[in-house]
């Protein structure tokens, strides 16, 4: 079961109701900077994790007076759209609420997921590939600050290109199921307060595993993890070598 560290209390709480009832993910972000975009990204991964666990989710966004630019940047980053945040009279107001906010922000009552700041360096490219930016931001725990510089973006770009190439190659081999041990480690990681960096470390170990792990199983593992990551790791499958 997915558990979240409540930023208000420091306690670990269940992110989903015991009986798999509806969970509301309420995203609070103002402005259109990379910090606001990261708030939406954390919420996107949270929604994906809940859905992978079988929990129905209603996700809303409360932003500034004109969130058009923020929504466009989020779409480019592969973040699925959120409904407009508002007072609801549709019978779901009593659902469990998870508030995704910038670290230190104040919100209504409910479990609070604090998102650390993004420190963008002058050396960082302002027009970085959105998928590269997504991976660079996902490489840190959601509550930690991110130093977004040319080194971080280059590392993310190299990793993404290497993984997509490997996945396309593995797809040519006979399919094999995700090893249960690996599946369990992946779920344990993301259900521990959305520990996405640990998910990425597990994928690196799968990439580097010896011949005892069939390529078809590596492919299925990466495809499975990408349901959380949203990095389009299978994008190049079927492309010419």
pLDDT (0 to 100) of residue 127: 65
As a whole number, mean pLDDT of residues 91-115 equals: 82
Instruction: Return the structure tokens found at 167.
Output: 């996945």
Q: Which of 33-42, 100-109, 134-143, 161-170 has the lowest mean pLDDT?
A: 100-109
pLDDT (0 to 100) of residue 193: 97
Helix axes of 196-208 and 180-190: crossing angle, nearest 10 degrees = 160
pTM score: 0.93
Q: Determine whether 59 is exposed, middle or buried from the number of CB atoms within 10 Å of its CB (0-12, 13-18, 19+).
A: buried
Domains in the chain: ranges and CATH: 3-116 (no CATH), 121-230 (1.20.120)
Q: Cα separation of 84 and 27, whole Å?
A: 10
Beta-carbon count within 10 A of 89 CB: 7
- pLDDT tens track for 175-221: 999 999 999 999 999 999 999 999 999 999 999 998 899 999 999 99
- pLDDT tens track for 8-53: 999 999 998 766 689 999 999 988 899 999 999 999 999 999 999 9
Q: How confident is the model at residue 89 (pLDDT cuts 50, 70, 90)?
A: very low
């Amino acid at each position: 079961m997915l558990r979240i560290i409540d930023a208000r209390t420091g306690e670990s709480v269940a992110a989903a109701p015991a009986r798999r009832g509806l969970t509301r993910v309420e995203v609070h972000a103002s402005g259109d900077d990379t910090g606001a975009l990261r708030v939406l990204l954390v919420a996107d991964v949270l929604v994906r994790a809940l859905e992978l666990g079988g929990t129905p989710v209603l996700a809303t966004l409360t932003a500034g007076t004109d969130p058009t630019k923020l929504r466009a940047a989020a779409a480019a980053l592969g973040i699925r759209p959120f409904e407009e945040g508002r007072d609801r009279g549709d019978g779901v107001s009593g659902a469990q609420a998870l508030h995704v906010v910038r670290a230190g922000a104040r919100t209504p009552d409910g479990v609070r997921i604090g998102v650390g700041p993004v420190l963008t360096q002058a050396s960082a490219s302002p027009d970085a590939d959105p998928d590269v930016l997504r991976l660079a931001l996902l490489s840190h725990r959601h509550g930690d600050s991110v130093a977004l510089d040319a080194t971080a973006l280059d590392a993310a770009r190299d990793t993404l290109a290497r993984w997509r190439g490997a996945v396309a190659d593995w797809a040519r081999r006979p399919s094999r199921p995700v090893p249960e041990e690996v599946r369990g480690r992946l779920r344990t990681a993301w259900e521990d307060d959305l520990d996405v960096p640990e998910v990425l470390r597990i994928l690196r170990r799968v990439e580097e595993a010896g011949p005892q792990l069939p390529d078809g199983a590596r492919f299925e593992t990466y495809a499975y993890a990408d349901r959380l990551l949203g990095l389009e790791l299978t994008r190049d499958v079927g492309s010419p070598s």
